[in-house]
Amino acid sequence: MVDSLGSKSILDTLKQRLGITAQLERRLHSQSDAAVYRVWQRKFVWIRTGLALKLAIVSYSTFLILGLLLPFNFGQLLIPWQGMAGVTLLSLILMAIVHRTRLGRRFPSLIFLATSWSITLIEQVWATLNGFALQGLFAWTLVFLVQATIVPVRWPLHVIAQGGVLAYYCLVNLGLGLTLTEAKPLLDVGTGLYLFWFCTIATLTVFRYEQLQQAQFRTRRQLEAAYSRLEVEKAQSERLLLNILPATVAQKLKQETTTIAESFPEVTVLFADIVGFTQLSVTLPPTQLVGWLNQIFSAFDQLAENLQLEKIKTIGDAYMVVGGLPIARPDHAEAVAEMALGMQQVVRAFNAEHNQSFSLRIGMNTGPVVAGVIGIKKFIYDLWGDTVNIASRMESQGLADCIQVTEATFQRLHDRYQFRKRGTITVKGRGEMTTYLLIG
């Protein structure tokens, strides 16, 4: 009962910790998304502010030209309207230059505000210096509308841009006692209500648009993450498939639904078996047994990869490899011979490391085979034919620590390798056959 309660307590603790970990991961992921969004948002503001600047310079130039052609009548002014308009245009040009610098890229919000106030505040300062209040509804609403449509993110920026203009107009003019006319107040109820709703609608539009942008950004990030996971899983599946099948066969399997089978006129097949390993497995712990077998076969796999041979399968402590398929090669027999000699060296090195006395019994044969993929679950690339059966007999009826080959393999290799003639042996299913032992 105590053990049961203790186990339950431990399980609950683990679940709690896992829940906290998952919550932290989600929070970190959310923070990461927020940071990426802020970077994207800053870049978006920078790009769109540049567009707004170009539009402002071009459009304001037209008003300045119109003012030069058709002078506006403001009476006796300390600073002419054309001078104020020129300062505004120069300010916009300066902002366009700063916008392209590192400072502009780093602080696009400041460029946004400076651009907005270049049009709306400079004329207010001009009016103040000339001793009167100027209600620039046309300039204000035009600027606010352009901001809301061209730079529709960071709604607090829009509030600051709008609030700065209205605050200057009301507070500075009120403080200095400046009015529009003697009969008209700074801001009547109708004009105030109009500006309130115009600014509210513009800012609300930006706010809603930014919400949509954030939702779209998160969705896009989730899709990108899903696609990334899909690519990783696809790559993992591809690696697993290539561990089971040759690359060319795997490609065919993905493209075809029919049975995959090919004939090869000449290949060399090798079977190898670790002598005495089965008997030793009775006395060895399972982990040690599998560990030793994995060490030996992993070294065999490396040999096969280096020699560009195709490992077919392992059965217990038996290993099968072939040269000359799925891509034909003229030196298949030589490559398999090198594999056999290399496998003997691997076992000798293993014996020296673990103080064992294992030996290999290896058989080789050369001839035609049929190769293909069988099964729909746990499928395998396998070989069939008399060549395979005889290669298997060369191993099973061979000698410990020897590489027994058939006459066909001997004829391919005898001028480049050393052999010793074993003589005639009785091969099950084939009768008498002359075999040879590959020495080196």
How confident is the model over 361-378, as pLDDT tens digits?
A: 999 999 998 888 776 666
Per-residue model confidence (pLDDT) at position 3: 43
Does position 286 have pLDDT exceeding 50, yes or no?
yes
pLDDT for 276 beyond 70 = yes
Pairing of strands 359-374, 261-275: antiparallel
User: Using CA atoms, how far apart are residues 29 and 9, in angstroms rounded to an integer?
Assistant: 30
Q: What letter represents residue 250's amino acid?
A: A
On whether both 209 and 284 belong to a single domain, the answer is no
pLDDT-derived band at 247, boundaries 50, 70, 90? low
In a domain, 180, yes or no: yes
Same domain, residue pair 202 and 277: no
Q: Which of 189, 223, 257 is the last residue of a domain?
A: 223
pTM here is 0.53
Q: Which domain holds residue 358?
A: 247-438
For residue 121, which phi and psi values (nearest 5 degrees)? -95, -35
Considering the domain boundaries, does residue 193 fall inside one?
A: yes
What percent of the chain shows pLDDT beyond 90? 35
Tell me if 42 sits within 8 A of 108, measured CB to CB.
yes
Instruction: Report the b/e string of 387-421 with b at 16+ CB within 10 A.
Output: bbbbbbbbbebbeeebbbbbebbbebbeeebebee
pLDDT at 76: 57
Whether residue 189 sits in one domain with residue 268: no
- Across the range 408-414, mean pLDDT stands at 90
CB-based burial label for 268 (10 Å; 0-12, 13-18, 19+): buried
For residues 113 and 168, is the Cβ–Cβ distance under 8 A? no
Return the C-alpha torsion angle 66, 70, 71, 72, nearest 10.
-80
Pair 81, 214 in one domain:
yes
Tell me: do 28 and 171 sit in the same domain.
Answer: yes
> Mean pLDDT lowest for which of 56-65, 110-119, 168-177, 260-269?
260-269
Residues 256 and 132 in one domain: no
Task: Provide the 3-class DSSP secondary structure of residue 437.
Answer: strand
Residue 229 lies in a domain: no
Could you tell me which residues come within 8 angstroms of residue 406 by beta carbon, excluding any fewer than 6 positions away? 364, 365, 366, 390, 391, 394, 433, 435, 436
410 closest CA partner among 428, 435, 430: 435
Both 12 and 139 in one domain: the answer is yes
Alpha-helical regions (H) of 121-246: 122-129, 137-150, 155-167, 173-176, 189-244
CA 87 to the chain's CA centroid? 51
Model pLDDT for residues 220-239, shown as the tens digit of each residue: 888 877 887 877 777 776 66
Q: Is the pLDDT of residue 7 over 60?
A: no
What CATH number did the domain enclosing 398 receive?
3.30.70.1230
The number of domains in the chain is: 2
pLDDT at residue 225, as a whole number:
79
pLDDT score of 207 more than 90: yes
Q: Tell me whether residue 92 is in a domain.
A: yes
C-alpha–C-alpha distance, residues 395 and 403, integer Å: 8
Model confidence at 77, pLDDT cuts 50, 70, 90, reads: low
Q: What is the pLDDT of residue 303?
A: 92
Which pLDDT value is given to residue 46?
93
Q: Among the three residues 223, 239, 272, which one is the final residue of a domain in this structure?
A: 223
Contact 165, 125 (CB under 8 A): no
Length of the chain: 440
CA distances from 273 to 75, 277, 344 (A): 111, 9, 11
pLDDT at 55 (0 to 100): 92
Q: Is residue 15 part of a domain?
A: yes
Here the tokens at position 156 are: 């607090």
Least confident of 66-70, 157-161, 335-339: 66-70
Indicate whether 211 and 267 sit together in one domain: no
Same domain, 203 and 252: no
Whether residue 278 is found in the same domain as residue 338 = yes
Do residue 329 and residue 415 come from a single domain?
yes
Per DSSP (E only), the strands in 236-388 are 261-275, 310-315, 318-323, 359-374, 380-384
Please say if the pLDDT value at position 243 is more than 70. no
Q: Determine the pLDDT at residue 69.
A: 80
- pLDDT on residue 74: 57
Q: What value does the CA radius of gyration of the chain take, rounded to a whole number of Å?
A: 42
Taking CA atoms, 252 is separated from 13, 190, 343, in Å, by 50, 77, 31
Residue 380 lies in a domain: yes
Higher pLDDT: 338 or 279? It is 338
231 within domain boundaries: no
Both 219 and 336 in one domain: the answer is: no
Q: Which of 188, 223, 258 is the last residue of a domain?
A: 223
